[in-house]
Structures are given as structure tokens and as C-alpha cells.
Chains A and B, each alone.
Chain A
Amino acid sequence: MIPGFLEKIHSHLYSNIQDKTLSFIQNEQTSYSEFANLVLSKYNDFNTIPDSRIGIYIDNHIDVYAAIIACWLNGKSYVPINPKWPTQRIQQVCKIAQINYIYTTNTIYKEIDDIQYLSKNVLDGRDGSFQINLLDVHFDEAYVLFTSGTTGVPKGVSISFENLDSFFDGFELLNYQVTEHDRFLQMFDLTFDLSICSFMIPMVYGASFYTLNEQLVKPLALYNALETHQITFALMIPSSIHLLENYLSEVELPNLRVTQFCGEALTTNQLQKWQSCVPHCQIDNVYGPTEATIYCTRYIAYPNSNLLNQNGIVCIGKPLEKSTIYVNDEDEIFIGGHQVSKGYLNDALNLEAFTNIVGDRYYKSGDIGKSIDSDYYCLGRKDQQIKVQGYRIELTEIENAFGQLFPNQISVAIPKQNENNYTEIILFTLVNSELTENIILMQLKKVLPEYMMPRKVMFIEEFNYNINGKLDRNYLKQWTN
């Protein structure tokens, strides 16, 4: 059966809205008809490859998006690979995903054992004047995304066309009234599944998407994209608000009608800051791990209404149409339904990560949650939950307490084993001439119990963000040593 979302994309590429702009990437505008030609130039070559998976070296280039669609129209799965990864990691990924071919727009080819490159330069010259027939295509796996594994071996999450179609069915029922006039922000690296939402949804609705200008420093690139391209629909991570922190007073985005936050816990403090910048805009908090296809719950933060939260962390709302959520006795969030992946390519991990409950398959998210009046809350990671003096502590609770006391400062709480093997908490925050360790600890003492108090406050010049724009906690862990 042809996935509904792909049928819609196909119809937009080859029928009715050909002159319309699809994308604006690095100052280059591409129309739907130009994109259709780019897809066709790859489609035939991909079709001759017997493999069901093709690796794609990611690059902020329209050809990469065209390669993804060419894979899908062939019923093949794509595996995004960042050419900047160490060669050993690329080799691991290719081995686990059994990849023999990698598509690249780049002229630099890493020497990877048994890999053949499909080069943009070669494929561009191919004749694309033929019809794509979706009826005879078998649609199984749509993509594989690799995430870090605790053993050091990357985990390959396999997402099927059915998973993705279920996500789009759920998205449609969220009733955003997306039209071809919408302009989407695409700020994510293509190895991050939020990117799929940011470029696929505009394609499904015949709308357009805009990426960040890589020549600019990230906060300015984000501000510039939102402002210059008059973005109407932005999926962002909460750290984006930190990035824009110094410029929020100047943010004027009258065209922005929907902002979705995903990928990290959204705090009430962050949400209120963004609400005050874009008071006319619908702001939603969406939640979901890669294993449950992009996101699987949504909460609408209506302005001037009771903002549902737990300890300053905004509610994640209710499941999408084809997802189910369950919180077990140990407060772990389990996700079921049609968006849940069939599993990791690394079979050994599946038994631990997926489980059956009364005949239904669930993914054990590793997130701590709770449900109140049929709304769900994600309160942090199980692995960010620590025990101090026998007390169970959510590190995010300390960060939120800090955020309430010092709204313009961000902080990160990191556990550290001291010389006596007891766990202590170190709180990191940015250098601020008006703040001292003493002031911070005195204020925190008023709101936190003794066992939650940080042992030390460390001031740093800047926080590191990973390639997906999320705050890099592992980098700070090194500091504690």
C-alpha cells in the first residue's frame, strides 16, 4: 500500500504546484518542479541498486533532500550519515545497517571498506524523463537513525513507512490548518528526526521550508531565518530560546502562527519568555523519542490560561491519534501504538527496550513521567535521576528552581562522585558579574531541601550545544572531574 504522505508528496512534485517555491537553502531557492527533476535524476540509479537501504552523507543542500525522496519513491530506506563523524563510527553504522552505497553531494569521499559512492556529479547528468510508478513498490522501512549506545556501539532505530504514515495521520488531526502558503523552519541536522518533520510536512502540504544560513553564528542564523523568511511554522528545541536570550526583546515575528517545542524539557520560564515575544502565536509542547517516530504527544499552551506543569516543566499533553502512553509503577513512560519502531537493527537491544503489555507492543522510553487527569508529564530521564542520601532527585528540578530564582540565567546540574564515593551535585551557570556562588546557594537554600542542594556552583563562559542544538551535558561531566 502506498503511504498516504508519500502519495501527497508525489502528487505535488509531478502535477499541480510546480512553480511554487519548495525550499530556500543557503541563499538558493528551489521550486517544486526543479526539485522534481533533482529527484528524477537519482530515482533511476537508486532503482537499479538491489539494496533496500542507502546511506546518505548529510549536507545542507537541496540534493540531499532530493536523494531522500528518491529513496522513498523507490521504497528504499535512507540512513543519514554525517561525513564529519569519525571514520570508525561511519564504518560501524555501515556495518550494522548493511549499507553498500552512500549518496554524496560532497567531493570528499572517506575511505570506508566495501562502500561505493553515488555521486551527485555523476547522477546530475542522467536522463530523468520517465514516470515514477508507485503501485508496484513495496514500502517497508523508511529510514534508520543512529543514536549513541551505552556500550559505545551506535544504535540503529528502524522506522517504517507505516510508522511515518501514522505520524502524519496524527499530525493532521492536530488541526494546524497547514496550507501551501505556510513557511516552515528547518533548523535540524538531518541525522535528527525532528528534521523529517521540518521538511516532510511542508512537502505533504505543498508548502515551503527554510534552513539556517550556515555562514552566521547560530543564534543570529535562527533569528535571521525566522525574520527574513517570515516563517509561519517553527519546530524548535527549548535551547533555541537560550540562544536568542539576548535578543528576545527585539523579536517581532507577526507571521509566525505556530511554534512547537520538542527534544528537551520545556520549562514554564522558557515558554513564558517565548509567549511574550510572539503573543499571537500558538505554542505547543510536543514529546517523543526517535523510537516512537518524531513525536507522539502534544500539549497546547494557551496564553492567559492555567499552564499545566510539574515543578516548572511544561506538560506534554495527550498522545497523538495512533499512539498510546502508559506510565508504569516505577514512573517510567511506555509508548505504544502504530508509531513505535519495529526495533533496533542491533537485535540484542530489543529485548530490553521493547515489551509486550496485554498483547500490545510498547517502547520503554527511559523517561520519568506521570499522568494527571489524562494529561502526561515528562519529568526527566531515568539516567538523570540520582540518589543522594537515599533520596531520589530529579536534576531538572534543581535547574528549574534556579530558573525561577534567576530567570535570565540558565543552569545545569551534574552529579559527581566525591572521594568518599558519595554523590554530590555541581551546578553550572554562566558567568554573571552580579552573581556569586554564595548568592546562588543562599537563594536555593530557601526553596530546596538540604539533600538537593548543590555542593558547588561553577561559572563558565558558555555552554556547549551538540549538533542538534541540545545542551551538551556530557561535556560538563568532564569538567566535574
Chain B
Amino acid sequence: MTQESIKLDLQPIFVTVFSEPNILITENMNAKNLDKWNSVTHLTMIREVKLFYNIKLKELTLMKNVGDMIQIILGRNLGA
């Protein structure tokens, strides 16, 4: 699993969660620079990512942007 492959996985999740067919995720994407990233979509996104990667909630709570999320998924994969 690489950073790029994780981005490819996350892309459709973001399209669905944010209802934005043209969204293109970047590492620094966060609640400040994406209008639809609010408390509700944040929680929905975490739920979807959790399910997709079978990650524990506690691993994701401190995630603040897409880059953090990728690192958490990557770190978990490396550790497995």
C-alpha cells in the first residue's frame, strides 16, 4: 500500500461523503479549505474510512487533514 494507492481509495469516499463528483483530494485538504468539510461530514468520512480500512476509531480521532489520514492508514499498514 502506498500513499498514491491510498489516495485512489479515498477519492471515491470523498466524492460520496461530500457529494462532489469533481473533488480531487490533496494532502493538505482540510475543514478550512473545503467548504463542505464540517462536523457532520467529518464524522461521516471517519465512519466510511474506518469501515473501508477496518481501522479503530481511536486511531483516527486526531486526524485533521487528508495527509494525516493517509499517514495513519500507511502507518497502520506498515505496522501490520
Contact = CB atoms under 8 A, between A and B. Distances in A.
A122 B61 CA distance: 37
A227 B40 contact: no
- Interface of B: prevailing SS: helix
| Size category, A interface | 10 to 19
Contact of B56 (A224, A246, A250, A462): A250
A224 B61 contact: yes
A224 B43 CA distance: 14
Interface stretch (A196-204, A210-218, A363-371): A210-218
Contact of A461 (B40, B42, B58, B64): B40
B46 A220 contact: yes
Given A215-B64, A216-B62, A220-B46, A247 B57 contact: yes
B62 A462 contact: no
A223 interface: yes
A154 interface: no
Interface residues of B, number: 12
Given A461-B40, A462-B40, A220 B61 contact: yes
Interface in A272-307: none
Nearest to A215: B64
B61 A246 contact: no
Interface string A220-235: 1001100100000000
Contacts of A83: none
Interface in B13-65: 39-40, 42-43, 46-47, 56-58, 61-62, 64
A215 to B, nearest CB: 7
- Interface of A: prevailing SS: helix
A457 B39 CA distance: 24
A53 to B, nearest CB: 36
A3 interface: no
Contacts of A462: 40
A433 to B, nearest CB: 13
Interface string A230-256: 000000000000000011001000000
B43 A219 contact: yes
B47 A227 contact: no
B58 A246 contact: no
A220 B43 contact: yes
8 contacts: A215-B64, A216-B61, A217-B39, A220-B43, A220-B46, A220-B57, A224-B61, A246-B47
A-B pairs with the 4 shortest C-beta distances? A224-B61, A217-B39, A250-B57, A220-B61
Given A216-B61, A216-B62, A220-B61, 11 more contacts: A217-B43, A219-B43, A220-B42, A223-B57, A223-B58, A224-B58, A224-B62, A227-B58, A246-B43, A246-B47, A462-B40
